[in-house]
Structure 1
Amino acid sequence: MKIADYHLHSQFSRDGMQTMDDACNKAIQLGISELCFTDHLEFADNYWVDYPEYRRSIEVAQMKFQKELTIKVGLEIGFDKKAQQQIKEYLEGKDFDFLIGSLHWIDEVDLFNGEFFRGKRVQDAIREYFQALQERISLFDFSVLGHITLFKRFFERLKVSPSDFDWSNYDGLLQAILQDLIDQGKGIELNTRVPLIDLDFRILRLYKKLGGEIVTLGSDAHHFRSMHTMKEGFQALQDAGFRYYCVFEHRKPQFIVIDDES
């Protein structure tokens, strides 16, 4: 089966710890046949990719690895209400295959430094996170919504476990988010950077029930040692009833059959 990793960071991301060559060589080693670089565009953090240099580097990699890999051009764009016009202007006239919309900051608060959770019950912070997602998914045109369950990465630091939560309490919000995505022709990402939890499976089932079809898989690797074949992700898609997952070309989804050997 064709394996495609659609969330990878390189030296063009501030937190990237691998070159494009590193990622491509690791992909070949793992049997991955297609990948998409999705380096950061994060105006909230005053960071954006040097597009001409980024494009040139990807084209060099495309030529170098053309016999082994299909390499696509993407971005991971951070939602930012204040930067809506800047994002639009940055994207104008540029040819990307794929865009991830992700929430890393909420009202100038960085989700990764712990401040967002300070002084709140974790379940309330999660609700605020979903509400912020819902408010932002119409800010610009992207392909898929990235790492919907991002907050699970902080559970160990917060000394909580996925089993501490009744995820059904968020069904209303999740249904609204997923329906908005479907109505806008956008999809979701199944992010496999950390192990999946019950909520990930719940989201997949709900998205499928609502008629959603566009799902990509991404390792979200910032270092080639974190790349993997995403076997858990393919199995999760099958368990939720999906027979296909997606790759993109010039912003258009293409559906790839998930076979039983995944």
Structure 2
Amino acid sequence: MKIADCHMHSFFSSDSETPTEDMVKRAIELGLPAICLTDHYDMDYNTGEFQLDTPKYAEKIWELQEKYRGKIEIRFGVELGLQLHLKERMEKYVTMWPFDYIIGSMHVIDGKDPYYEDAFPDWTAEELYRAYFRATAENIRSFHHFQTLGHLDYVVRYGKEKSRAYSYRTFSDEIDAILKELIQHDIALEINTGGYKAGLGVPNPTPDVIRRYRELGGEKITFGADAHKPEHIAFHFADAAAIAREAGFRYYVRFCQRKPEYLPLD
């Protein structure tokens, strides 16, 4: 059984132009048992992007669920951008909609997105990475009504120095704090294969972080390719599954009505 891809975007996200149905059709071609659409909603993004028309988005997913019933399971999800001052708004939002799955992701630190190389001109890569990881742990402590943490080291994927200024060992205290918060609040760790697409040669987070999560007692992992185009659905999933098995995982989870379903990796 192939692994379900539970992180993908369509034209409901500001950074994708792909019709939602095209993502579904490609997943069926690949023989995936299930997918979860997780279009972006960053409530307070500094350039005004990544707002989500949730009523239209939900309507489209429910339409596709009916159209492709018996061919693939389509889950209703969202990728929610975490920021401390949004706690009350996020809590209200997640109770308003019957999501199967919510990814909590850090896209913004200090009001800016590290995706843009010039966002932090006065910070060294180490300062940025350390601040990002500390902010991630703080956000999870404040708001934890989501099922998985998306791309834990997103900042490394887009930082100026990328992995040249990064290793788990250098930031072990900050990363361990994140992993312990996930375990405490029963939140899964996402293995996001967008790192391969970005040329890092590894997923986000890196294999040593995935191993450390298991060592600390973490049991729940999810898989997502972070695809914004059909050709990236389930991207490098075989490599990611091998990393998970080497770390000691035998199962992964996908979610229905926010409840975990455990499926074998083999």
Whether these two folds match at TM > 0.5 is yes
Over residues 171-219 of structure 1, what are the superposed CA-to-partner deviations in whole Å (9 max), with x where a residue is unaligned? Answer: 1111111111111111111100122169611111111011111110001
CA distance change for structure 1 residues 203 and 166 in 2, over 3 Å: closer, same or farther?
closer
Task: Provide the aligned C-alpha RMSD in A.
Answer: 1.8
Aligned partner of 2:131 in structure 1 is: 128
**Greater helix proportion:** 1
CA shift, 1:225, in A, is: 2.0
The one-letter code of the counterpart of 1:162 is S
Secondary structure in 2 aligned to 1:4? coil
1:64 to 64, 67, 89: 67
Select 1:224's aligned residue among 205, 230, 251: 230
Kept after mapping to 1: 8 A contact 2:101/2:147: yes
Distance 1:107 1:2 in 2: 39
Pair 1:28–1:200, CA change in 2 (3 A): same
Matched residue pairs, number?
256
Q: Deviations over 1:92-134 (max 9, x none)?
A: 2321111001011112112221244422221221111101111
Shift of 1:25: 1.0
Gaps of 5+ in 1: none
Cα 1:132–1:102 shift into 2, 3 Å: same
1:82 CA displacement: 2.0
Matched position secondary structure for 2:7: strand
Partner of residue 240, structure 1 = 247
Q: Could you say which residue in structure 2 is the equivalent of 1:250? A: 257
Q: Is 1:204 equivalent to 2:205 in the alignment? A: no
Partner of 1:185: 186
Q: Distance in 1 between matches of 2:177 and 2:165?
A: 24
**Residue ranges of structure 2 left out of the alignment (5+ in a row):** 197-201
Q: Say whether 1:138 aligns with 2:141.
A: yes
Scaled by the length of structure 1, the TM-score of the pair is 0.91
| Shift in alpha-carbon separation, 1:68–1:235, aligned structure 2, 3 A | same
> Partners in 2 of 1:54 and 1:204 — Cα distance?
32
Does residue 174 of the first structure (1) align with residue 181 of the second (2)? no
Distance 1:186 1:199, change over 3 A: closer
Residue 99 (structure 1) aligned with residue 94 (structure 2): no
- Please give the secondary structure, in 2, of the residue aligned with 1:190: strand
- 1:247–1:198 Cα change, 3 Å: closer
- Percentage of matched positions with identical amino acids: 32
The match for 1:8 is: 8
SS at match of 1:148: coil
Distance 2:9 2:184 in 1: 29
CA distance in 1, matches of 2:76, 2:67: 15
Match of 2:152 in 1: 148
Equivalent-residue separation in structure 1 for 2:57 and 2:162 (angstroms): 39
Q: How does 1:26-65 map to 2 (within 5 A)?
A: 26-45=26-45, 46=48, 47-65=50-68
2: CA distance, partners of 1:2 / 1:165: 32
The Cα shift of 1:152 comes to: 2.8
